[in-house]
Chains A and B, each alone.
Chain A
Amino acid sequence: MNCIKIETTDLNLYYGNYHALKAVTMDIRADAVTALIGPSGCGKSTFLKTINRMNDLIQGVRITGRVCLDGEEIYAPGVDVTTLRRRVGMVFQQPNPFPMSIYDNIAYGPRVHGEKNKNRLDEIVERSLRRAAIWEETKDRLKKPAPGLSGGQQQRLCIARALAVEPEVLLLDEPTSALDPVSSLRIEELLLQLKKSYTIVIVTHNMQQAVRISDDTAFFLAGTVVEWGRTGQFFSRPRDRKTMDYIAGRYG
C-alpha cells in the first residue's frame, strides 16, 4: 500500500470568470501511476498544471482549496516555486527540446538549480539519459542539436531532462499523443520502469493506455472528478453511470 504523495482538497480554479476545476478532491499515491482521463476541455491539463503551479504564469487565474505535496500546502505563502518545480517535473504533449545540444538540454535543469561542476554534470547527463532509456541512442552525439532527434527520441529526451533534477513527481500531459504507436509503447515501458522510484501522473486520451500503465485512474468531466480509484476496479466495476458511459465510448 503506497502512501499518499499529493492530496487535493476542494480545489477550484477559475480562468477569469470561467470555472475550470470544480471542487476537485482526490489523492495521488506515491510510486504509482495515476492516469487522468476524460473528454477534451474537461480540465485534465489544468489540474495537472496546478500540481507544479504552472498556472501561475497565466493572467487572471484564481485558485481556492488546497493542494498538498507530502502534506505541505504548495499554494501557501512563502513556498519557493523553483524548489517545487524541481520536486515536481513536467513533460508536455509536444516534445519540446530546447534548441541546443542534447547535453545542454539535460544539463539545463541542474544548471538552473546551481550545478556548475563539469564532472558532476557529465554524470547527471549520463544517468538521466540511461534512466530515460535513450543513452545508447545518444551517447555518441551528445553535442549535436537535440531538435535533430526523432519525435519519440525527443520525448524520451524531455523525460530525461525532467529527471535530471531528481524530481519526486513526474507530470506528463498526453506525452504520447504526438507519437507513432511504437514510440508510444517505448514511453509506456519507460513509465512502468520509472514508477518504481517516481510518482507519476499522466493525462491520456487513450483508455487502453490508462489500463496498461496506471495503478489509479481518475475520470474528469466538465471540471469535476466524477470518480477515481484503482484502475482495475475503475474499469471493471465503475460506480458512476457517467463513468460507465465514458468507458463504453458514449462520450466524445
Chain B
Amino acid sequence: MPRKIKDAVAYMVIYLAAFYSVLLLAGIIVYVFAKGFPVFDLPFFTTVSSVVKGTVGIAGNILNTVYIVVLTLLAAVPAGVGAAVWLNEYATPGRGVRLIEFATETLAGIPSIVFGLFGMMFFGTTLGFGYSILTGSLTLSLMILPLITRNTQEALRAVPDSYRNGAIGMGAGKWHMIRTILLPSAMPGIVTGILLAVGRIVGESAALLFTAGSGYLLPEAGSGFVSKIMESGGTLTIQMYLSLARAEYDTAFGIAAVLLCIVLAFNLLIKILTRNKFFAG
C-alpha cells in the first residue's frame, strides 16, 4: 500500500476513535439529562420521599452529601496538606520518605469497598460510631488522603527554591516561610486536589454503603443538625443505587442528572483554576 494511503487510513482511524469517545460522552449526557430533567420539580429538591405523603424527593440526600463532603474534607485536608508539607519541607529525603510515598501511592489504588470494610469495622464497631455520617466521613477521609497529599506535594515541588532561600535569608523561620510563601504559591494545586477529592466523595458508593448507611430523612430543626452526624445518612449516589435496586428508574435518572451537573461544574472549576496561573511571570 502506498505510504500516502497508509497515512490517510491511520488518520481516519484516529479521528474515528476520537469522534467515538466524544460521541459516547455526549450520548450519555444527553440521555441522562433527557430522562432526568422531566423528574425535576420543586418537591423533588425540597422534600424527602414518603409513602404516606406520596412525595418523591432527595432533599435529605442532598443534605447528607453536603455533610459528608464537609466532614470528610475537615478530616482529610489538614492531615493531607500537613503530611505533604512534612514530606517535602521537613523530612530528610531518603528511604523513610520514599517508603511513605510508596505507601500513599498504594493506598490510592486500594478498591474503595476495602476502605468500606475497614471503616465499618474500625470506626463503626471498634470506636462505636455505628452506621453514621461520621463513620462514613472518616472512612472516606482515609480514601482521599493520598489524593490531597499527592496534589499538595506536586504543588510544593513546583515552588522554586529561590523563594525558600529568599525568605529564609531575610530571617524568616521555616514555618513562617511555609505559611506566607509556600502555601499561598501552592494554593491552586492544593485546591485542585480538594476539588478532585470532592468529585470522588460525591461519586462514592461502595465505601459508604456499609459505613454511612442509607438514611434519607431531614434532621429536626435545631440540635438535629448536630446529632445528625451520628445518624445514618445516604448521599445522592447511595440513594441512586437504592432507587435502581427498587426499580424506581425515574428517581434514579433524576439523581443521575443532578450528579452529572455537579461533576460538570467541578470539572469546569478545576479547569479554570489550573489555567489561571495568577502572578506567574
A-to-B contact residues, CB < 8 Å: 52, 54, 57, 59, 81-86, 89-90, 92, 94, 96, 98-100, 108-109, 112-113, 145, 147-148, 158, 161-162, 165
CB <8 Å contact, A98 and B169: no
A57 to B162 alpha-carbon distance, docked (Å): 13
Which residues of chain A have C-beta atoms less than 8 A from B46's C-beta? none
A145 to B173 alpha-carbon distance, docked (Å): 24
State whether the Cβ of B165 lies closer than 8 Å to any Cβ in chain A.
yes
Q: In chain B, what residue has the closest Cβ to A59?
A: B92
CB <8 Å contact, A145 and B171: no
CB <8 Å contact, A54 and B169: yes
Q: Given A145-B281, A147-B281, check contact A113 B162 (CB 8 Å).
A: no
State whether the Cβ of B160 lies closer than 8 Å to any Cβ in chain A.
yes
**A-side binding surface: helix, strand, loop or mixed?**
helix
A84 to B160 alpha-carbon distance, docked (Å): 24
Which residues of chain A have C-beta atoms less than 8 A from B185's C-beta? 99
Interface of chain B residues 140 through 199 with chain A (CB within 8 A)? 160, 162-163, 165-173, 176, 180-181, 184-185
Q: In chain B, what residue has the closest Cβ to A158?
A: B166
Name the contact of A112 in the complex, choosing from B162, B176, B278 (C-beta under 8 A): B176
Q: Given A147-B279, A147-B280, check contact A96 B170 (CB 8 Å).
A: no
Q: In chain B, what residue has the closest Cβ to A149?
A: B281
Which residues of chain B have C-beta atoms less than 8 A from A81's C-beta? 171
A152 to B165 alpha-carbon distance, docked (Å): 20
A85 to B166 alpha-carbon distance, docked (Å): 11
CB <8 Å contact, B180 and A108: yes
The smallest C-beta distance from A138 to any residue of chain B, in angstroms, reads 16
A81 to B181 alpha-carbon distance, docked (Å): 20
CB <8 Å contact, B168 and A54: yes
A100 to B180 alpha-carbon distance, docked (Å): 10
The smallest C-beta distance from A201 to any residue of chain B, in angstroms, reads 14
CB <8 Å contact, A92 and B172: no
Beyond the given pairs A84-B171, A145-B278, A161-B170, 16 more chain A to chain B contacts, judged by CB atoms under 8 angstroms and listed by A's residue number, are A52-B169, A54-B168, A57-B165, A82-B171, A82-B173, A85-B171, A92-B165, A96-B160, A98-B166, A99-B280, A100-B279, A112-B170, A112-B172, A148-B281, A162-B170, A165-B170
CB <8 Å contact, A98 and B163: yes
Complex A-B: 14 CB contacts under 8 Å: A57-B168, A83-B171, A85-B169, A85-B171, A92-B165, A96-B160, A98-B163, A98-B166, A99-B280, A108-B180, A109-B170, A109-B171, A112-B167, A147-B279
A105 to B171 alpha-carbon distance, docked (Å): 14
B-to-A contact residues, CB < 8 Å: 92, 160, 162-163, 165-173, 176, 180-181, 184-185, 278-281
Which residues of chain B have C-beta atoms less than 8 A from A99's C-beta? 163, 181, 184-185, 279-280
Q: Given A99-B279, A108-B180, A147-B280, check contact A113 B165 (CB 8 Å).
A: no
A81 to B174 alpha-carbon distance, docked (Å): 12
A158 to B169 alpha-carbon distance, docked (Å): 12
Q: In chain A, what residue has the closest Cβ to B159?
A: A99
A162 to B168 alpha-carbon distance, docked (Å): 12
Which residues of chain A have C-beta atoms less than 8 A from B278's C-beta? 145
Q: In chain B, what residue has the closest Cβ to A81?
A: B171
Which residues of chain A have C-beta atoms less than 8 A from B170's C-beta? 85-86, 89, 108-109, 112, 161-162, 165
Which residues of chain B have C-beta atoms less than 8 A from A94's C-beta? 162
A82 to B185 alpha-carbon distance, docked (Å): 23
Which residues of chain B have C-beta atoms less than 8 A from A108's C-beta? 167, 170, 172, 180
Q: In chain A, what residue has the closest Cβ to B277?
A: A99
Name the contact of B162 in the complex, choosing from A59, A92, A109, A161 (C-beta under 8 A): A92
CB <8 Å contact, B181 and A89: no
Which residues of chain B have C-beta atoms less than 8 A from A59's C-beta? 92
Q: In chain B, what residue has the closest Cβ to A111?
A: B180
Q: In chain A, what residue has the closest Cβ to B172?
A: A112
Which residues of chain A have C-beta atoms less than 8 A from B162's C-beta? 92, 94, 96
The smallest C-beta distance from A41 to any residue of chain B, in angstroms, reads 19
A61 to B75 alpha-carbon distance, docked (Å): 39
Which residues of chain A have C-beta atoms less than 8 A from B180's C-beta? 108
The smallest C-beta distance from B98 to any residue of chain A, in angstroms, reads 16
A165 to B166 alpha-carbon distance, docked (Å): 13
Which residues of chain A have C-beta atoms less than 8 A from B172's C-beta? 82, 108, 112
A57 to B279 alpha-carbon distance, docked (Å): 27
The smallest C-beta distance from B57 to any residue of chain A, in angstroms, reads 47
A108 to B168 alpha-carbon distance, docked (Å): 11
A148 to B279 alpha-carbon distance, docked (Å): 8
The smallest C-beta distance from A90 to any residue of chain B, in angstroms, reads 4
The smallest C-beta distance from B105 to any residue of chain A, in angstroms, reads 25
Which residues of chain A have C-beta atoms less than 8 A from B280's C-beta? 99, 147
Which residues of chain A have C-beta atoms less than 8 A from B92's C-beta? 59
The smallest C-beta distance from B134 to any residue of chain A, in angstroms, reads 39
Which residues of chain B have C-beta atoms less than 8 A from A158's C-beta? 166
The smallest C-beta distance from B158 to any residue of chain A, in angstroms, reads 12
A158 to B170 alpha-carbon distance, docked (Å): 11
